[in-house]
């Protein structure tokens, strides 16, 4: 018995080994059934001798049965040949094979990867199969398991074929080119878009064609399919609204010939600008005996850019005329000394005496005409005598006497120092032109090292109307160096070669959101931090922020003179007057994601449309809160009136200026007398607030500043703009109400009731400095309104 049991076990093992070897050599249960049928037919042919009654065996099946057992890789043609045989033959039955009208499948002769078809198992008795369920070929209307006509032509061209799985009793899809098999129908890949999808991975996941009633196991999705799940849109909370789309139409513009900002070039440029600013101070002190007028250098940069045709975005280099009237006028106003409004009567008396002494000293130390020398000295001596004789004079008496003395002496002093002051202006301009040449040499050296050719002649675009879009560059961007990132409480510190620049975390998240909306050449955020560093460095150099933060952020510093409207005012402008665009803003203080700014190169990645004087909209509603510079205001009024006269579509500009009447600036008078002025109102002083110009670095508690002057609001609109966004009484009243201090936006109140927005935590270290990784980040002092607001 033991020997018999061992013999049976050996027989089973040999049978299993034989089946395995046949499977590896390309045999299947179907082929064995066909071979047995062939042997039966041969015996029947010998016994009966009637070849007409034999079942028909196709020639390609006979060839299939002659496949050598030494074959290592089965060919797909053999599998397809098996699929053409009716299952009735597999059971050795002599029933006739049903004929179908569907054409047989034909495969292209292309090299194939090793295919992995599903092994077909012998089917049970045909009668039992018929009673259980209909055959898949009968249900689907095709002979065999290959169903080519159920697939779109695009999938067939990609190599996909459809087969029927008898093991799982459902169709599956197999790619003859790649050898991949899927239970679900493969999806067509969308057309390749190098801008929005440079890697070609943003295609949706496969769509299942299996009925919901069939609960069968599904193949596990690939990791790249799981990663393509659409991400929910994130809305960044803060004193801005970056989700408002533009209503501004323009004609398509030529890309700018400016070069991409580079941290090394930007550090070099800002160093030269700081030297130029220091040279201006030294020239005024050595030649005229005065300090450089406050914020005069900043206004000189602004005024020069109106006429500059040079290639540097910050320093002027090609201006006509070379002498800046803005700088000339401000220096003249401080000669022989700078006058301020005194607080007390004693201060008024001292100022009168010092002015007389300074005027006499200037006229005696210069090569003045005899007439000028005589008039100035006589008026100075008369003032000294009046001061000695007069007892108990009032504050107004001293101020009136000072005005009289200045009116008598100033013309002669101006004639005397005119040549010297013009020399200061020319010296600063020529130094600036030399600095720009050095900057361009350094920029071109970096381009040569990167193997990039400068494109100074971009193609002219087709004339067509488009929604306004950020500035585009004609020259590619070189590889930017890494920037160190550190976090200190609520501020982030960006460091490059030891130069550290601070920015509040909330404003860094705002820049990230603007970068996501407006930058098209860096979707992986690999150059985000270098470009933020260049942006901060540029505005630090342009505004001349000192190393003393308290002086820079105080009432007299440059940060206090650069102010923006409060968020409730912007919200009202958008709802009541359709405003979606700011004419004078920056990425650091903008409310909308579309705006014009001072610098087209550093700001373009964050939504800037360039300079307002080069921006020519066809239609739209705009807010204009310009920096105060007489030449810039004059240019603004001219530009707005020209745009309004050339467009017949709705166009509207709402201008905000300080209410100054002693004396009134010429631009303000022109604005009030404009043909397109529809209405003007004045917001009283100390009854409204502005946001600090350096809001991106000051604490949140010090952002709002009370305005010490009234604000004039003027509506400039053409006929179509007036009909659409006209300043009705209700709208104007709502705007004045929005100016009230402590006012909250309706959006902020809704967020308090049902908070749906939030600021994500930055995915950066808290204390340790490190090199920035390619992944993006996750999110009242009284002052002089916006006298010198620069962005």
- Classify residue 543: in a domain, yes or no: yes
- Classify residue 502: in a domain, yes or no: yes
Q: Nearest Cα to 698, choosing from 564, 470, 502, 517?
A: 502
Task: Compute CA distances 479 → 130, 263, 527, whole Å.
Answer: 70, 11, 8
Q: Are residues 670 and 769 in the same domain?
A: yes
Say if residues 785 and 611 touch (Cβ distance below 8 Å).
no
pLDDT higher than 60, residue 158: yes
Say if residues 146 and 104 touch (Cβ distance below 8 Å).
no
For 597, phi and psi rounded to 5 degrees?
-145, 180
- Classify residue 312: in a domain, yes or no: yes
- Classify residue 635: in a domain, yes or no: yes
Say if residues 612 and 569 touch (Cβ distance below 8 Å).
no
Q: Are residues 147 and 69 in the same domain?
A: no
Q: Last residue of a domain, which of 194, 210, 239?
A: 194
Q: Nearest Cα to 702, choosing from 560, 503, 525?
A: 560
Q: Are residues 507 and 468 in the same domain?
A: yes
Name the pLDDT band for 150 (thresholds 50, 70, 90). Answer: confident
Q: Are residues 413 and 470 in the same domain?
A: no
Residue 271 burial (CB < 10 Å; 0-12/13-18/19+)? middle
Question: Cβ atoms within 10 A of the Cβ of 664, count?
Answer: 11
The pLDDT value recorded for residue 645 is 96
Average pLDDT of the segment spanning 607-633: 95
DSSP codes of every residue in 273-300: HHHHHHHHHHHIIIIISSPPPTTHHHHH
The edge-to-edge listing of strands for the beta sheet with 499-504 is 499-504, 491-496, 484-488, 770-771
Angle at 551 (CA atoms; ends 550, 554), nearest 5 degrees: 75
Query: How many domains does the chain contain in total?
Result: 4
Q: Are residues 431 and 462 in the same domain?
A: no
Tell me how long the chain is: 791
pLDDT higher than 70, residue 99: no
289-327 residue pLDDT tens: 999 999 999 999 999 999 999 999 999 999 999 999 999
Q: Give the range of the structural domain holding residue 278, as residue numbers without chain letter.
A: 267-436
Say if residues 271 and 442 touch (Cβ distance below 8 Å).
no
Q: Last residue of a domain, which of 99, 122, 156?
A: 99
Name the pLDDT band for 187 (thresholds 50, 70, 90). Answer: confident
Q: For strands 465-467 and 249-251, give the pairing.
A: antiparallel
Name the pLDDT band for 280 (thresholds 50, 70, 90). Answer: very high
Which range among 18-22, 656-660, 683-687 shows the weakest confidence by mean pLDDT? 18-22
Say if residues 711 and 625 touch (Cβ distance below 8 Å).
no
Residue scoring higher pLDDT (35 or 177): 177
687-709 residue pLDDT tens: 999 999 899 999 988 999 999 89
Name the pLDDT band for 176 (thresholds 50, 70, 90). Answer: confident
- Classify residue 643: in a domain, yes or no: yes
- Classify residue 609: in a domain, yes or no: yes
For 371, phi and psi rounded to 5 degrees?
-65, -45
Q: Are residues 280 and 254 in the same domain?
A: no
107-122 residue pLDDT tens: 344 343 333 333 434 4
Q: Are residues 487 and 511 in the same domain?
A: yes
Say if residues 248 and 620 touch (Cβ distance below 8 Å).
yes
Name the pLDDT band for 10 (thresholds 50, 70, 90). Answer: low
Name the pLDDT band for 8 (thresholds 50, 70, 90). Answer: low
Q: What is the mean pLDDT of the chain?
A: 78
- Classify residue 545: in a domain, yes or no: yes
Angle at 759 (CA atoms; ends 756, 763), nearest 5 degrees: 135
Please tell me the distance from the alpha carbon of residue 441 to that of residue 317, in angstroms, as a whole number. 14
CA atoms within 13 A on the CB side of 80: 16
Q: Are residues 587 and 465 in the same domain?
A: yes
The pLDDT value recorded for residue 43 is 44
pLDDT higher than 80, residue 35: no
**Cis, peptide link before residue 554, omega less than 30° from 0:** no
Task: Compute CA distances 656 → 351, 356, 569, 693, 748, whole Å.
Answer: 34, 39, 12, 16, 24
Name the pLDDT band for 166 (thresholds 50, 70, 90). Answer: confident
**Per residue in 567-591, is it b (16+ CB within 10 Å) or e — as a string?**
bbbbbbbbebbbbbbbbbbbbbbbb
86-97 residue pLDDT tens: 333 344 334 443
The pLDDT value recorded for residue 4 is 54
According to DSSP, residue 473 is labeled B
36-57 residue pLDDT tens: 554 554 444 444 444 444 444 4
Q: Last residue of a domain, which of 405, 436, 467?
A: 436
Q: Are residues 521 and 595 in the same domain?
A: yes
pLDDT higher than 50, residue 65: no
For 608, phi and psi rounded to 5 degrees?
-70, 140
Name the pLDDT band for 683 (thresholds 50, 70, 90). Answer: very high
772-790 residue pLDDT tens: 333 343 333 333 333 333 3
558-595 residue pLDDT tens: 544 568 999 999 999 999 999 999 999 999 999 999 99
Q: Are residues 347 and 405 in the same domain?
A: yes
Sign of CA pseudo-dihedral 76, 77, 81, 84 = positive
Q: Are residues 428 and 497 in the same domain?
A: no
Question: Cβ atoms within 10 A of the Cβ of 776, count?
Answer: 21
Maximum Cα interatomic distance, the chain, rounded to a whole number of Å: 157
The pLDDT value recorded for residue 660 is 87
Please tell me the distance from the alpha carbon of residue 241 to that of residue 704, in angstroms, as a whole number. 18
What percent of the chain has a predicted confidence (pLDDT) above 90?
56
Q: Are residues 150 and 280 in the same domain?
A: no
Please tell me the distance from the alpha carbon of residue 770 to that of residue 482, in angstroms, as a whole number. 10
Please tell me the distance from the alpha carbon of residue 283 to that of residue 278, in angstroms, as a whole number. 9
pLDDT higher than 90, residue 193: no
Name the pLDDT band for 610 (thresholds 50, 70, 90). Answer: very high
- Classify residue 120: in a domain, yes or no: no
């Amino acid at each position: 018995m033991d020997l018999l049991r061992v013999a049976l076990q050996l027989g089973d093992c040999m049978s299993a080994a034989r089946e395995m070897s046949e499977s590896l050599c390309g045999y299947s249960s179907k082929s064995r059934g066909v071979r047995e049928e062939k042997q039966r037919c041969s015996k029947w042919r010998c016994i009966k001798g009637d070849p007409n009654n034999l079942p028909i065996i196709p020639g390609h099946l006979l060839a299939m049965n002659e496949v050598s057992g030494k074959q290592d890789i089965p060919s797909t043609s053999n599998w397809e040949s098996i699929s053409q045989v009716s299952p009735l033959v597999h059971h050795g039955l002599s029933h006739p094979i049903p004929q179908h009208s569907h054409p047989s499948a034909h495969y292209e002769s292309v090299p194939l990867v090793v295919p992995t078809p599903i092994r077909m198992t012998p089917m049970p008795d045909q009668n039992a199969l018929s009673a259980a369920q209909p055959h898949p070929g009968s249900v689907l209307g095709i002979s065999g398991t290959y169903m080519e006509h159920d697939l779109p032509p695009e999938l067939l061209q990609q190599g996909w074929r459809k087969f029927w799985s008898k093991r799982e009793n459902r169709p599956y899809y197999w790619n003859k080119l790649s050898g991949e098999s899927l239970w679900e129908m493969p999806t067509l890949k969308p057309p390749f878009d190098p801008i929005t999808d440079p890697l070609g991975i943003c295609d949706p996941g496969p769509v299942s064609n299996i009925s919901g009633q069939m609960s069968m196991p599904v193949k596990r999705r690939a990791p790249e399919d799981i990663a393509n799940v659409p991400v929910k849109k994130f809305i960044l909370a803060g004193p801005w609204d970056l989700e408002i789309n533009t209503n501004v139409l323009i004609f398509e513009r030529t890309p700018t010939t400016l070069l991409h900002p580079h941290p090394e070039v930007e550090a070099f440029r800002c160093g030269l600008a700081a030297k130029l600013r220091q040279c201006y101070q030294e020239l005024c002190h050595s030649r005229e005996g005065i300090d450089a007028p406050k914020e005069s250098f900043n206004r000189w940069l602004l005024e020069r850019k109106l006429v500059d045709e040079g290639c540097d975005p910050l320093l002027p280099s090609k201006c006509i005329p070379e002498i800046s009237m803005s700088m000339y006028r401000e220096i003249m106003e401080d000669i022989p000394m700078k006058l301020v409004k005194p607080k007390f009567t004693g201060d008024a008396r001292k100022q009168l005496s010092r002015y007389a002494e300074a005027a006499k000293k200037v006229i005696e130390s210069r090569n003045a005409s005899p007439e000028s020398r005589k008039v100035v000295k006589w008026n100075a001596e008369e003032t000294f005598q009046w001061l000695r004789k007069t007892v108990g004079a009032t504050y107004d008496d001293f101020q009136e006497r000072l005005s009289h003395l200045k009116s008598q002496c100033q013309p002669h002093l101006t004639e005397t120092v005119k040549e010297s002051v013009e020399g200061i202006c020319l010296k600063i301009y020529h130094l600036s032109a030399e600095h720009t040449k050095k900057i361009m040499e350094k920029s071109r050296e970096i381009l040569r090292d990167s193997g990039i050719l400068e494109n100074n002649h971009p193609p002219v675009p087709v004339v067509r109307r488009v929604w306004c879009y950020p500035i585009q560059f004609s020259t590619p961007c070189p590889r930017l160096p890494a920037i160190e990132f550190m976090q200190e409480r609520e501020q982030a510190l960006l460091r490059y070669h030891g130069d550290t620049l601070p920015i509040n975390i909330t404003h860094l998240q705002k820049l990230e959101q603007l970068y996501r909306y407006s930058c098209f050449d860096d979707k992986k955020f690999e150059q985000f931090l270098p470009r933020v560093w260049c942006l901060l460095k540029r505005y630090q150099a342009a505004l001349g922020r000192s190393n003393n933060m308290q002086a820079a952020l105080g009432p007299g510093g440059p940060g206090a003179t650069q102010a923006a409207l409060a968020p409730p005012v912007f919200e009202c402008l958008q709802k009541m007057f359709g405003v979606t665009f700011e004419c004078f803003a920056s990425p650091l203080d903008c409310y909308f994601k579309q705006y014009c700014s001072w610098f087209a190169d550093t700001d373009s990645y964050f939504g800037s449309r360039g300079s307002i004087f080069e921006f020519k909209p066809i239609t739209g509603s705009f807010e204009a809160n310009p920096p105060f510079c007489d030449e810039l205001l004059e240019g603004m009024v001219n530009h707005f009136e020209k745009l309004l006269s050339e467009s017949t579509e709705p166009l509207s500009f709402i201008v905000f200026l300080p209410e100054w009447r002693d004396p009134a600036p010429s631009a303000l008078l022109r604005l009030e007398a404009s043909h397109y002025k529809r209405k003007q109102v004045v917001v009283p002083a100390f009854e409204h607030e502005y946001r600090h110009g350096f809001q991106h670095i000051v604490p949140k508690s010090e952002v709002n500043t009370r305005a010490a002057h009234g604000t004039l609001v003027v509506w400039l609109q053409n006929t179509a703009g007036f009909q659409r966004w006209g300043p009705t009484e209700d709208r104007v009243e709502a705007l004045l109400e929005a100016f009230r201090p402590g006012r909250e936006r309706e959006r902020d109140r809704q967020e308090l009731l049902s908070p749906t927005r939030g600021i994500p935590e930055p995915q950066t270290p808290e204390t340790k400095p490190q090199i920035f990784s390619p992944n993006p980040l996750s999110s009242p002092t009284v002052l002089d309104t916006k006298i010198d607001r620069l962005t």
